[in-house]
A and B are shown apart, each in its own frame.
Chain A
């Protein structure tokens, strides 16, 4: 809509520029290469940590999920501050792969744990070799999970703003931001935003097409047994080496780099008051964002879980579309909206909080729906047959059962708000700084030491809950007896997917 205002010819100019074509190629190239690498790394790690006799595989299993807690712009900062030479494609590719492979790893590992080993045993007993069985049976079972994970990776890469910007690789998000900043003519930014949205929609539709076919191949649940681990033999050491290497790239190096700059920063001019201010502001707007998002998500999530009408299904699909909307696009849309119609709250906290709700409502609805679905509908029926009305049943049975899941979802929205960069950058109240925006400003000015405390504070805030979540999931699956493990696993993945966006 905003794009049309500058006149259609101006819009067409932007689209047809040679620069724009290059921009599309660069974005698609980065997205494709990161997604492909994530599939290899994610599926490989998932198989090693769930199905083999890898030493300390439980520990590796937890460690492999931890990069989720590292916001990509923090990792980008850690790398470029130590090795300025990596700016450009390889830097963006490496950092984004290291940060996003858990989106493939987590669902595939969950699917491998859930997959019925009986099927593999049947295949072996019918005369297929271990390798043929892996390729024809096991891979088929994890295909839907891997496809969903790959979709998340692709959307993440397309919509990520912080990492490519810090690593100075011109993709859509970075160019949108700079063209918005650079001139009063907002047409290029708007047109490029539309192109970016079209690209994300194309990817989402493509994925849902493959999913439609893959889900028919999916097999019923009902496993209480884990598969016997495959012996790695002579490949044990290389396998450990690979796991360690991934952990070193994704966690070790950023940690060391961050530590170095922290020490340097302590001697440089560092203002603890400013850090506290930024942390306070971060917590404030994020809390409001989490509250609003959850308040909106609870009714929609209950509807989505309980009433499978056509309208509700459409709403759910809209949820997936929402996953795909890049933060920078939502932010720009709200800027235009704010300037034009709600001037009083433009560049005030309320508009930022609304932006958070728009961005993270889809994920929150997903967690609410998953937790409500965990409380069987039959319990509500029993409650009604015992003389309790519809609303009383909801209050006395469904909400208490879904409560923990909803609370966890709210906590994760809170965290995600804390780490949000592009929308916060554009919409924050004048003079207010959050941890993420301070990190952005300092790094942009080349003040790596000054940025370190903000990066460290952010990582600390994000790491603890991610670790707890992964542990909780591992425990649930280890119990194995619980019928709801499948749903709980799905809920956890949904929660994690909501993280670090």
Chain B
């Protein structure tokens, strides 16, 4: 049973449509990622859920109670939906403790203990009396999360909270935030344009394109069984190859490959992930030549040119542990099932 339900939400600024009927379900206690390129409307969706923007049409329901839609618009302060904006947006005139306790009632007896509790949850105990300007970017982000969790909201919305952090810090803050959210048992929606962040952090990923959710599912489902070619390309690197399918198999220039899901027939394309491409010695598999290598440290990404006998050579990507000399002759094979997309009629 979903805690947060968004149904057919539209929104336009002037004549520019931004959301074109968004559907989104977030189960209780889950962390959902809304993934999309910049300008796809994901931040607007967040602001509609928070109540900062009025939806044009559609409904937003929280635990069976309608928040927006059908002429109804519950004020943001009555929704119990807390936000963690980009760059934290801490109140600069309040201490860390003052920020965290901001959403608690003045006479709440747990006021001071609750602030300490939450700072401990995000790993910042002892920082109560600091001012926001004295904190690093990652610390500010964690205080912002503690502040959002303090009044025990139904849902926490995170708007690209890690994009202002540098790469090294991002991974650790991301992990801390995930742990803190799970420990608090909070339901959360994370907006991001970073597919790696979405896949590694979330329980559910919703891919947004042109103001619409084009696919929603577990990170694995979205990566392994993308709804269309664009999603396939957006959630990870993809090698797209023309193919002819029959009886659960696809004939491709890289050999005959098993199809995930089976039963397809006719002309189309298959999507192969680079980690499925295996390098062989020259003379084995399909013959290929190394074009260039991009070295990342933990692994490398090699661009290959596969000679297919007829037609133009085929560009293929694969992962290796280190760089290969440009111009080397190798062979390639493909492991595991590949995803089938029928050719457009």
A385 touches B82 (CB 8 A): yes
0/1 string, A379-392, CB within 8 A of B gives 1? 10111111111100
Whether A385 pairs with B91 at a CB distance below 8 angstroms is no
Q: Does A397 contact B (CB under 8 A)?
A: yes
Tell me whether A385 and B76 are in contact (CB under 8 A): yes
* Count class of interface residues, chain B: 20 to 34
A378 touches B (CB below 8 Å): yes
Chain A residues numbered 385-433 whose CB sits less than 8 Å from any CB in chain B = 385-390, 393, 396-397, 400-401
Pair A381/B50 contact, Cβ less than 8 Å: yes
User: Contact between A388 and B92 (Cβ–Cβ < 8 Å)?
Assistant: no
B85 adjacent to A387 (CB under 8 Å): no
- A-side contacts of B50, CB under 8 Å: 381, 385
Residues on B with C-beta less than 8 A from A385 are 50-51, 76-77, 79, 81-83, 148, 153, 157
Closest chain B residue to A484 by CB distance?
A: B92
Q: Which of A378, A387, A396 has the most CB of B within 10 A?
A: A387
CA distance A397 to B153 in the complex (A): 20
**Per-residue 0/1 for B33-66: is the Cβ within 8 Å of any A Cβ (1 yes, 0 no)?**
0000000000000000011100000000000000
- In A346-399, the 8 Å CB interface with B consists of 376, 378-379, 381-390, 393, 396-397
Distance between Cα atoms of A461 and B78 in the complex (Å): 50
Q: Is the CB of A381 within 8 A of B93?
A: no
**Distance A400 CA – B93 CA, assembled complex (angstroms):** 7
Q: What residues of chain B lie closer than 8 Å to A389, measured between beta carbons?
A: 75, 77
A379-B91 contact in complex given A384-B75, A387-B103, A388-B77, C-beta closer than 8 Å = yes
- Give A482's nearest chain B residue, CB to CB: B133
- Is B80 interfacial (CB-CB < 8 Å)? yes
Q: A61-83, CB under 8 A of B: which get 1 and which 0?
A: 00000000000000000000000
Render B143-179 as a binary contact track against A, CB cut-off 8 A, 1 for contact. Answer: 0000110110100010000000000000000000000
Give bound CA distance, A379 to B83, whole Å: 11
- Name A382's closest neighbour in chain B (CB-CB): B89
Residue among B50, B76, B93 facing the most chain A CB atoms (10 A cut-off): B76
Please tell me the size bucket of the interface on A.
10 to 19
Of B85, B92, B151, B157, the contact of A386 (CB 8 Å cutoff) = B151
The reply to whether B85 and A378 contact each other, CB–CB distance below 8 Å, is: yes
Is B102 an interface position by the 8 A CB rule? yes
| Shortest CB distance A440–B (Å) | 44
Give Cα A389 to B92, complex, Å: 19
Cα distance A386–B148 when bound, in Å? 7
Q: How far is the CB of B96 from chain A (nearest CB, A)?
A: 15
Q: Which residues of B contact A393 (CB under 8 A)?
A: 77
Contacts of B153 in A (CB 8 A): 385
Contact B93 A401 (CB under 8 A): yes
Contacts of A381 in B (CB 8 A): 50, 52, 76, 83, 85
Tell me which of A376, A379, A385, A396 has the highest count of chain B C-beta atoms within 10 A of its own C-beta: A385
On chain B, the residues within 8 Å of A387 by CB distance are 77-78, 80, 103, 151
Indicate whether A383 sits within 8 Å of B85 (C-beta atoms), given known contacts A389-B77, A401-B92, A401-B93.
no
In the complex, are the beta carbons of A397 and B91 less than 8 A apart? yes
- Which of B78, B89, B157 is most buried by chain A, counting CB atoms within 10 A of its CB? B89
Q: Which residues of B contact A390 (CB under 8 A)?
A: 75, 77
**Residue-wise interface mask of B (219-257) relative to A, using a CB-CB cutoff of 8 A (1 in contact, 0 not):** 000000000000000000000000000000000000000
Q: Tell me the bound Cα distance from A37 to B85 in angstroms.
A: 49
- Which residues of B have CB within 8 Å of A397? 91
Q: When the two chains form the complex, which single residue of A382, A384, A400, A401 contacts B85, counting CB atoms closer than 8 Å?
A: A382
Shortest distance in angstroms between A104's beta carbon and chain B's nearest beta carbon? 33
| A378 surroundings in chain B (CB, below 8 A) | 85, 89
Nearest-CB distance from B178 to chain A (Å)?
21
Quick one: which of B79, B89, B93, B103 contacts A388, CB cutoff 8 A?
A: B103
> Smallest distance from the beta carbon of B150 to chain A beta carbons, Å?
8
Residue on A nearest B144 in the bound complex, by CB = A382
Interface residue from A376, A383, A400, A401 paired with B102 (Cβ < 8 Å) = A383
How long is the Cα–Cα vector from A400 to B102 in the complex, in angstroms? 14
> Whole-angstrom distance between the alpha carbons of A386 and B225 in the complex?
38
Q: Nearest-CB distance from A383 to chain B (Å)?
A: 7
In the bound complex, residues from chain B placing their C-beta under 8 Å from that of A396 are: 102
**How far apart are the CA atoms of A378 and B84 in the complex, in Å?**
10
- Pairwise interchain contact A386-B93, C-beta atoms closer than 8 A: no
Q: How far is the CA of A261 from the CA of B52 in the complex (A)?
A: 64
Q: From residue B132, how far is it (CB to closest CB) to chain A in Å?
A: 11
Inside 8 A of B77's CB, which chain A residues have their CB? 384-390, 393
Chain B residues near A388 (CB, 8 Å)?
A: 77, 102-103
Contacts of B85 in A (CB 8 A): 378, 381-382
Minimum distance in angstroms from B105 CB to a CB of chain A: 9
Q: Which residues of B contact A382 (CB under 8 A)?
A: 83, 85, 89, 91, 147
| A403–chain B nearest beta-carbon distance, Å | 9
**Complex contacts, B91 vs chain A, CB 8 Å:** 379, 382-383, 397, 401
Q: Please, what's the 1-or-0 string for B308-345, where 1 marks a CB less than 8 Å from any CB in chain A?
A: 00000000000000000000000000000000000000
Q: Residue of B at shortest CB range from A378?
A: B89
Least Cβ–Cβ distance between A281 and chain B, in angstroms: 38
User: How distant is the Cα of A389 from the Cα of B147 in the complex, in angstroms?
Assistant: 17
* Interface residues in A451-490 (C-beta closer than 8 Å to B): none
C-alpha gap A379/B82 in the complex (Å): 12
CB distance from B137 to the nearest CB of A (A): 13
Q: Please give the distance in Å from B221's CB to the nearest CB on chain A.
A: 31
A184 to chain B minimum Cβ distance, whole angstroms, is 58
Cα distance A378–B76 in the bound complex, in angstroms: 13
Q: Which residue of A lies closest to B86 (CB)?
A: A378
CA distance A176 to B50 in the complex (A): 59
In chain A, what residue has the closest Cβ to B52?
A: A381
Point out the residues of chain A lying under 8 angstroms from B150, CB to CB. 386
Closest 8 CB pairs of A and B: A386-B103, A384-B76, A385-B83, A384-B77, A378-B89, A400-B93, A387-B77, A385-B82
18 further interface pairs, Cβ-Cβ under 8 Å (given A381-B50, A384-B52, A385-B83)? A378-B85, A381-B52, A381-B76, A382-B85, A382-B147, A383-B102, A384-B77, A385-B79, A385-B82, A385-B153, A386-B82, A386-B102, A386-B103, A386-B147, A387-B78, A388-B102, A393-B77, A400-B93
Q: Could you give 27 example pairs across A and B, Cβ below 8 Å?
A: A376-B89, A378-B89, A381-B52, A382-B85, A382-B91, A382-B147, A383-B91, A384-B51, A384-B75, A384-B76, A384-B77, A385-B51, A385-B77, A385-B81, A385-B82, A385-B148, A385-B153, A385-B157, A386-B77, A386-B82, A386-B102, A386-B147, A386-B150, A387-B151, A389-B75, A389-B77, A397-B91
